[in-house]
Amino acid sequence: MLSVNGVSKSYNKSGWFQKDKQRVLEDVSFQCGQGECLGIIGESGSGKSTLGRLILGIERPDTGEILFEGKRLGDAKIRAGNISAVFQDYTSSINPFFTVEQAIQEPLNNLKSGLKSHSDLIDDLLLQVGLHSDYRKKYPHELSGGETQRVCIARAISTSPKCIVLDEAISSLDGSVQLQILDLLKDLRSKINTAYIFITHDIQAAAYICDRIMIFRNGSIEEMVSTDQLKDVQSHYAKKLLQMTILN
Amino acid sequence: MKMWKNMLQDKLALLSFSIISLVMVTGLFAPFIAPHDPYEVHMVLRYAGSSWTYWLGNDHLGRCILSRLIYGIRPSILWVFAALAVSVGIGAMLGFIAGYFRGKIDALLMRICDVMLSFPGTVMTLAIVGILGVGLENILTAFILMKWAWFARVIRTAVLQYSESDYVKFSKAIGVKPFKIIYRHIVPVTLSDIAVTASSSFGSMILQISGFSFLGLGIQAPHAEWGMMLNEARGVMFSRPEFMVAPALSIMIVVSAIHFFSDYLQVALNPKLRTSKHKAGDFAGTTTPRLQEKEVA
């Protein structure tokens, strides 16, 4: 469904007349199937969030292409309704002037077909993420981190997208809330059958929810394993990464 | 709207807003409100003190000072306001484009702004007046030419800060069109920055235009303008100092009111103060101390 083919990305270093560029992604290729949960794991600065931005079409790759059902994701019309996202920073993930209701409505309004009232749908979405319909009129600063993240998930699933990019979606939450959100995500996946691209630095969280895990290092794929074979990783770096997690 | 309700609680803001709107309305309807013709000369009444017919007395040509003060609102405040609106409009448009789209267009616009901002403002204004000739419209043109770059800079910075936020990223990801994102997400959050910078420079622009008129570069006699009225009263500064009081006080009061109001806007346009009914009690608790603090200051 989603295929990333030979994608590279580099950024200009600061300065006008400097020509040198910093390579962030180097020839990355992978596929993500329908309803699959793919984990992308890497250290800070490994380029995994850049990859997330490219998949979301916020930025364009320098070379290579990202296709969604055979069409280029750079086109906003292809993305609308099909792809969605949940981000890390819950303090800025909802416009402070929007109520919960308005925030969830945004992706619906963006689809041309969605001109009718979404009132019932919003109640239903809130219910699905475990929030009462009283939350509709609240502003984001009145919500806790976990609640905001639930609203973001409700917003992400509102158009029943085929793929959701979760960029460190649980990393800024504390332990027990992380588990609640992971369970919620698992639960939702079984209901609406969307694919997740789960970007994180937390191997345990990834192992908990993902089918396949991609270990990312210095802008390229180090190794790709399915979660049940996580113990049998081949590369030295992946082994080290796993050992560190077990020691913790 | 919540903002107006909050203002009713903040007495200083309410007072400033009433002063500003009263002055503006008076200026708009000057011919109906002014008790006399501001250009009518009565040499008999030269330097007359205040009387029941002429409340603030008469100037060196025996003209009614109150009427001249009221007519003076037009160039001193209303035209300055129009110039401000134009320059904020240009600055906002370019600032939004530069801050949102970044890249080459941002670099180009900001270099143009750098060039504009590298001229000292007063010298540039004097140069434009020198080229185009003395007069209010030329000074206003110079103001617009000089100020838009500064507004574009300030607004771009505000836009940059918000265009990186996750809700803008989300909108981009789900394929919302750029200008819709600017309109829906970036304009509301940057509006407070725009309002505060615009209102504070409104005060300084009023002072500048009065300053230029005081120097005789702005509006020309016999038209009334507050700075020019000060200049006319300057001749009798030691024998009849009271003639300086009316225009000077008017400038001071209006400029102070604008500054107090821009202070208030900064607080009021903060979305964190917008709270829904669920936490009404909490809301009252957090704002009252803030308002008291402001009244003391």
Is B156 within the bounds of a domain? yes
Sorted by sequence, the CB contacts under 8 Å of residue A229 that are 6+ apart come out as none
Question: Which range (A107-121, A223-237, B1-15) has the least confidence?
Answer: A107-121
Phi-psi region of B206 (alpha: psi -120 to 50; beta: other; left: phi over 0): alpha
Q: Where are the domains of chain A?
A: 1-13+21-82+165-170+197-247
Q: Which of B173, B184, B188 sits opposite A58 (nearest CB)?
A: B173
Q: Measure the CA angle with vertex B93, ends B88 and B96; round to 5°.
A: 115
Q: Residue A224 pairs with which residues in a beta bridge?
A: A214
In this predicted structure, the answer to whether residue A16 has a pLDDT above a threshold of 70 is no
pLDDT for B91? 95
Interface contact A93-B276, CB threshold 8 A = no
CA torsion, points A183, A186, A188, A190, in degrees to nearest 10? Answer: -140
CA atoms in the 13 A half-sphere facing the CB of B123: 5
Among B110, B164, B167, B193, most A C-beta atoms within 10 A, so best to mutate, is: B167
Give A1-13+21-82+165-170+197-247's CATH code, choosing from 3.40.30.10, 3.40.50.450, 3.40.50.300, 2.40.37.10: 3.40.50.300
pLDDT for A248? 60
CA B182 to chain centre: 25
Residues lower than pLDDT 70 in chain B = 1-3, 270-297
Mean pLDDT for chain A overall: 87
**For residues A208 and A182, what is the distance between their CA atoms, to the nearest angstrom?**
8
pLDDT for A29? 92
Phi, psi angle pair for A59, to nearest 5°: -130, 160
Is B131 within the bounds of a domain? yes
Is B59 within the bounds of a domain? no
A83-101: average pLDDT: 89
Q: ipTM of this predicted complex?
A: 0.90
A135-140: average pLDDT: 90
A133-140: average pLDDT: 90
User: Which residues in A lie closer than 8 A to residue B279 (C-beta atoms)?
Assistant: 142
pLDDT for A116? 59
Total domains in the fold of chain B: 1
Residue A186 CB burial class (10 angstroms; 0-12, 13-18, ≥19) = middle
pLDDT for A54? 92
Q: Residue A220 pairs with which residues in a beta bridge?
A: A217
Q: Which of A56, A97, A159 sits opposite B188 (nearest CB)?
A: A97
Is B273 within the bounds of a domain? yes
Is B189 within the bounds of a domain? yes
Among A14, A88, A97, most B C-beta atoms within 10 A, so best to mutate, is: A97
CA A178 to chain centre: 15
Distance from CA of B176 to the nearest CA of A (A): 6
Give the position of tokens 């434009």.
B128
3-state secondary structure of A61: coil
CB contact burial B197-231 (16+ within 10 A = b; e otherwise): bbbbbbbebbbbbbebbbeebbbeeebbbbbbbbb
